[in-house]
A and B are shown apart, each in its own frame.
Chain A
Amino acid sequence: MDVLNAITLFANFVFVPGLAYGAQLALGALGITLIYSILRFANFAHGDQMAFGTMVVILLTWWFQSLGVSLGPLPTALLALPLGMAALALYALAADKFVYRHYREIKAPPIRLVMASVGVMFVTNGLVRVIIGPDDQAFMDGERFIVRAGNFRRAMGLNEGLAIKSSQALTVVIAIALVVALFWFLNRTRTGKSMRAFSDNEDLALLSGISPQKVVTVTWIIAAALMTIAGTLYGLDKSFKPFTYFQLLLPMFAAAIVGGVGNPVGAILGGFVVAFSEVTITYAYKKFLTYLVPESLAPEGLMQLLSTDYKFAVSFIILVVVLLVRPTGLMRGKVI
């Protein structure tokens, strides 16, 4: 019985949150890796562009709510999601036209593009703060839980409950659907294949008649969709705050690099590696161990490896270890 309690406790506080967070990071890292391999720069504006897309979704959600439109048990934000994706895609394309295209045309070194993305980050951050403000915003509605801790406890006759938030389930379901669709697109469609060809060898791709403008446009649209979805799911699961989204940059980069930059499968793997490391290392194991060991051995401290204040340190340490041991990442991404 105690073992079951321990497993439930672990699932409730580590596995389920880690799975949802990992899926969110994976979507973010996928976008980063896509931009990395096709547009050939590290997009520092990623976090803030995520915040921009999510902001549009939130504003539309509020509007729908005021009109009385809802999706029943599902969050209204899902209804606003396609519009948010479209808005961010337009924004990203505008940023590309007015900022990035110039550096591509003059064949500037990648670091100039990175700096330009820092400028875009600044502007986007300012816009988001002006429009929606720097504070926390909650926009989750509909059914909050799929499995409630209390019900689970009674049904299973355990001391510990397992809660599954609908936002967590949604995250995982949407992430799987999205990844399947993305891989189908990249591997099976003509546009997807031309994107891969472009990322592999730009000159050869141009020679075979692939339109670079089309590849760039499609890349930004897909990246914008990934950013908006990742941001909205993160916001539904936790909460929306512009600064938090900026800070997500580090775990997302870590995920992309750990998995192997430019490798989509690696980005997904990296997202889960970073998320689970973060959650397992910052979880306090006191109660968990109390169930498993005899009473006399019960731990006194919190049994927490690292305080939650240092969760950024986890992604950083993973990043450093990977850079030291295997700079190409777990899945052997290419070094552009």
Chain B
Amino acid sequence: MSATTSNPSAGSDSQTMRAVLGFAAFGALLALVGFLQSWNVMLAIFNLCLISAVMALGVNIQWGYAGLFNVGIMGFAALGGVAAVLTSTAPVASAWQAGGLGILASGAVTLGVIALAVIAYRKLASGPLKTLVMLVVIIGGYFVIREVYDPAVAAIEADNPAQSGFLGGLGMPIMLSWAVGGVLAAAAAWLIGKVALGLRSDYLAIATLGISEIIIAMIKNEDWLTRGVKNVTGLDRPVPYEIDLQGAPWFTQLATDRGFDLVEGSSIFVKLAYAALFSSVLIAVLALCVLALASPWGRMVRAIRDNEVSAAAMGKNVTARHLQIFVLGSAVVGIAGAMLTTLDGQFTPGSYQPLRFTFLIWVMVIVGGSGNNLGSVLGAFFIWFIWIEAEIVGNWLMANATQFLEEGSALRTHLIDSAQHMRLFTMGIIMLLVMRFSPGGLLPERTASR
């Protein structure tokens, strides 16, 4: 984590070289894909690289700055996806009529129950009476909430279930949801952090694992909110549709002037537009991260990370800083999650897999160099690239390696089918090897020369 070089100034130079070389190598890889496969594929990979990089920056804030181990990245990314749906889809008037009032009422009742519980907790002297009152308030409150909530949910979900069956969103531009996703994820992180921070370091890991499973279960089952596993398709897009571009006079003009294929050109244009949007977010987040880490605040959090006891002795509030960092990092992950759903154009709760959304991001941060912002970006670029290309290479390798087996034999089909799972195995091996032999990662953390 803290890689110190014997000669700081020389180390710094070689660091810059490493970064330049790393990004140049990545550019070369992309160009290779562009020439060998197609520029369309290249841009599709690159866009996801950008989103992964934002997510990895969020994780790096938590792990690299403060040593907080978050195993629930998937949940925070999914909250970003929820934000995309809730912000951009048009409100469903009939569903609001059917159960909107009930949902709002149950929300109000929930707040009331929580308020009552808090008052009871604060005002009553501890003893059996307090426990009893708390239990009655919480359990009784739960039944009252369900009494209001259940009919409202049933009414909403019965409203045209094939097409909608949910309340819809606010009908605002989807770009707004990126901020909303950050806020939602931050709120969830605050709740979790309040409970688990300040205890043993691995309790946070277990608690985040739990919250992410629950968030996924909620978005799969609360159909009134996000349609659950029925998915929400056709989300608003911040960029024009390919088909509209192909009909637009200025674009057809451009295509004939430059002499490119209209269909492929429109698809590349759309992807470029996405890439521009995502890069601006990435650059903004990266700049903020770099500035924060170089500021007095950055020195303080690194001091806390490296020695909590002495930082506390200097009067730093360790738990409060941890909570702050945990919330900030989760917010960045939420922003990336909303961006991902925007790029997909649809919200599919079934696609949230912990191995893809939590552990892959971890590999990115570790391989890139925990504590180094630029390193996380580079790690995200490379790992996403390998993740995508490994499937193609893996299938090709497995198909060739099983040449000697009979066509259609059970073993051969099994091996070819399992090629996709080799990716998990490879990623695990990469993570373990980097942790063991090069704990600093591709771009080790810069330690300030004094």
Contact = CB atoms under 8 A, between A and B. Distances in A.
Interface of A: 41-42, 44, 99, 102, 109-112, 114-116, 118-127, 129-131, 133-134, 246-247, 249-250, 253-254, 257, 301, 305, 307, 309-310, 312-313, 315-316, 319-320, 323-324, 327, 335-336
Interface of B: 67, 69, 71, 142, 150, 195-196, 199-203, 205-207, 209-211, 213-214, 217-218, 220-221, 354-355, 359, 362-363, 366, 414, 417-418, 421-429, 431-432, 435-436
Nearest to B419: A130
A313 B220 CA distance: 14
Contacts of A315: 210
B201 A133 contact: no
Given A102-B436, A125-B424, A310-B214, A319 B431 contact: no
A94 B82 CA distance: 42
A119 B210 contact: no
Contact of A44 (B199, B205, B210, B211): B205
Contacts, number: 127
Contacts of B422: 126, 130
Contacts of A122: 355, 359, 363, 424-425, 427-428, 431
Given A130-B418, A301-B150, A312 B214 contact: yes
Contacts of A102: 436
B172 to A, nearest CB: 30
B425 A123 contact: yes
Contacts of B417: 133
Given A309-B221, A310-B214, A116 B432 contact: yes
A114 B428 contact: no
A323 B426 contact: no
Most buried by B among A110, A115, A121, A131: A115
B202 A310 contact: no
B202 A41 contact: yes
Given A118-B431, A320-B207, 6 more contacts: A116-B432, A120-B428, A122-B425, A122-B428, A254-B206, A319-B210
6 contacts: A112-B435, A119-B435, A122-B427, A126-B428, A250-B213, A316-B207
Of B67, B150, B424, B431, the most chain A CB neighbours within 10 A belong to B424
A44 B71 contact: yes
Contact of A316 (B214, B355, B359, B432): B214
Contacts of B195: 320, 323-324
Contacts of A320: 195, 207
A130 B421 contact: yes
A194 B64 CA distance: 38
Contacts of B69: 111, 114-115
B99 to A, nearest CB: 16
A249 B209 contact: yes
Contact of A119 (B201, B205, B206, B432): B432
A258 to B, nearest CB: 12
A309 B217 contact: yes
B210 A110 contact: no
A181 B349 CA distance: 45
Contacts of B354: 246
A120 B436 CA distance: 12
A238 to B, nearest CB: 18
Nearest to A316: B210
Nearest to B436: A102
A134 B421 contact: yes
A312 B427 CA distance: 27
A37 to B, nearest CB: 13
A247 B213 contact: yes
Contact of A129 (B210, B421, B436): B421
B298 to A, nearest CB: 21
